[in-house]
């Protein structure tokens, strides 16, 4: 594998201060390496793959923090796009929501939404074995909404006047401002409304994280951006453009983690927070870079971030005392950043395309500190920026399957690999 070395990674960090220069140089360097290392490209699958298709559409699920399959292990949700996914989403365009019976190998139903992006789709997610939710846009209300459907009743159960980010079963969900996201980080935002003005971006007391009660439908601003920014305030915050993203509720539902991110002169900075359901916060990490993370039980977080000494790698954070320990697996650390998903003590993660544009899918055991390669897949250079295709691996809820999105076969597709007979 032609991985990027420590000097290349260090140069990339230095260029963060010059984002436009970095973007141009990175793109040129990618093309150069694509041709220099194309003969080293690998293809490997530990087990055969099952691909999910819908007519001639491109299919994908979305982010790595949700599973496409329900707890009954029989129904799968995914998105289907009729347009080329190697382009940015079009304003007010629609994408399909497909409900698929894995046992009968047939489509149960399809819906549409105009609220989506290539990285997270419409935040499609299961609430119960039967009920699922996704985001949409209500033209009459001129706002983003959440729609909840039942497979058994074959109908829409509820609508909420808040867009969903993460839910705890059918009890509550947390919401954020997708228009702010689209203004500052369009990879994860929605294009249905105009971007925020400078004044709106700098107004922080009426924006942040909302708590929405599932039964009543009532929502409240749980934590404002103003409160987040003022928590261990630094003078440089005043000149920053702030937002929250990647809210993740703990498995038992009593707390959640989220990222406070801000841009200062084009450079992004990250802080990782823990909060209870009353909005009482604790800062878990503020060493400028937090990439991707996942709950490891109810009291720990496993993720790729920067440590206090400036070392980037996978860390385990104890939420009870905020201690942060570098994960002891040198081989895994060499791979670099990825999107970890955890089921029990097992984990899956991916690796960004290397110089030959090969992506790697990893399956491991966090307790035994062992891992194996599940797949090497080709990632075409035309999938970049907002329309990149990371593998975003996710377990089935029982841990016997892994799902991931790939462009290995020439277009975006949701795939599944069986893990039952693989031991680590």
Q: Give the domain ranges of the chain.
A: 123-330
Predicted TM-score of the model (pTM): 0.93
Residues 6+ apart with CB under 8 A from 316: 296, 300, 301, 302, 324, 325, 327
Long-range contacts of 326-330 (CB under 8 A, 24+ apart): 327/302, 327/366, 327/369, 328/369, 329/364, 329/369, 329/370, 329/371
Q: Residue 189, by phi and psi: left (phi above 0), alpha (psi -120 to 50) or beta? A: beta
Q: What is the mean pLDDT of residues 112-134?
A: 98
Query: d(Cα 246, Cα 221) in Å, to the nearest integer?
Result: 17
Distance separating alpha carbons of residues 236 and 240, to the nearest angstrom: 7
Please tell me the CATH code under which domain 123-330 is placed.
Answer: 2.140.10.30
Tokens (6 digits) for 419: 């893990």
13 pLDDT higher than 90: no
pLDDT value at residue 128: 98
The reported pLDDT for the residue numbered 9 is: 60
> pLDDT at position 14, please?
62
Angle subtended at Cα 336 by Cα 298 and Cα 270, rounded to the nearest 5 degrees: 60
Cβ-based neighbour number of residue 133 at 10 Å: 24
The per-residue pLDDT of the chain, averaged, comes to: 93
Residue 10 has pLDDT above 70, yes or no: no
Is the pLDDT assigned to residue 347 strictly greater than 60?
A: yes
Can you give the pLDDT at residue 38? Answer: 64
| Residue 64: CB atoms within 10 Å | 26
Q: Which of 135, 131, 111, 133 lies closest to 122 in space, CA to CA?
A: 135
What are the tokens at 53?
Answer: 């298709």
pLDDT tens profile 40-56:
667 899 999 999 999 99
Q: Coil, strand, or helix at residue 14?
A: helix
pLDDT value at residue 1: 44
62: left (phi over 0), alpha (psi -120 to 50) or beta: left
User: In whole angstroms, what is the distance from residue 258 CA to residue 344 CA?
Assistant: 21
């Amino acid at each position: 594998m032609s991985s990027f070395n420590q000097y290349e990674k260090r140069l990339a960090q230095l260029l963060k201060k010059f984002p436009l220069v970095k973007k141009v140089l990175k793109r040129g360097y990618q093309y150069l390496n694509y041709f220099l290392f194309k003969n080293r490209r690998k293809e490997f699958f530990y087990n055969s793959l099952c691909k999910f298709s819908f007519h001639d559409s491109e299919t994908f699920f979305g982010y790595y923090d949700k599973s496409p399959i329900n707890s009954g292990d029989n129904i799968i949700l995914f998105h289907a796009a009729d347009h080329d996914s190697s382009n940015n989403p079009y304003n007010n365009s629609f994408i399909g929501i497909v409900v698929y019976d894995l046992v009968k190998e047939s489509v149960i139903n399809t819906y549409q939404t105009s609220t989506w992006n290539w990285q997270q789709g419409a935040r499609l997610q299961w609430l119960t074995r039967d009920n699922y939710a996704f985001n949409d846009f209500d033209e009459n209300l001129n706002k983003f909404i959440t729609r909840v459907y039942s497979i058994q009743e074959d109908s829409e159960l509820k609508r909420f006047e808040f867009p969903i980010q993460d839910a705890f079963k059918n009890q509550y969900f947390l919401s954020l401002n997708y228009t702010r996201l689209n203004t500052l980080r369009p990879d994860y935002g929605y294009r249905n409304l105009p971007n925020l003005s400078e004044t709106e971006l700098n107004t922080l007391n009426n924006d942040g994280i909302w708590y929405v009660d599932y039964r009543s439908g009532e929502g409240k601003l749980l934590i404002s951006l103003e409160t987040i920014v003022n928590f261990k305030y630094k003078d440089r915050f005043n000149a920053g453009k702030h937002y929250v993203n990647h809210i993740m509720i703990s498995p038992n539902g009593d707390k959640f983690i989220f990222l406070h991110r801000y841009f200062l002169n084009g450079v992004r900075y990250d802080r990782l927070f823990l909060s209870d359901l009353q909005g009482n916060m604790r800062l878990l990490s503020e060493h400028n870079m937090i990439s991707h993370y996942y709950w490891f039980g109810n009291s720990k977080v496993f993720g790729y971030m920067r440590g206090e000494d400036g070392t980037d790698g996978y860390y385990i954070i104890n939420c009870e005392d905020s201690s942060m320990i570098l994960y002891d697996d040198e081989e895994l650390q060499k791979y670099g950043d990825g999107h970890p998903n955890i089921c029990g003590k097992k984990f899956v993660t991916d690796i960004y395309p290397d110089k030959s544009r090969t992506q790697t899918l990893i399956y491991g055991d966090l307790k035994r500190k062992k891992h194996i390669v599940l797949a090497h897949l080709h990632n075409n250079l035309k999938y970049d920026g907002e329309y990149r295709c990371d593998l975003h691996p996710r377990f089935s809820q029982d841990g016997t399957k892994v799902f991931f999105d790939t462009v290995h076969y020439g277009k975006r597709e949701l795939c599944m690999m069986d893990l039952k007979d693989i031991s680590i």
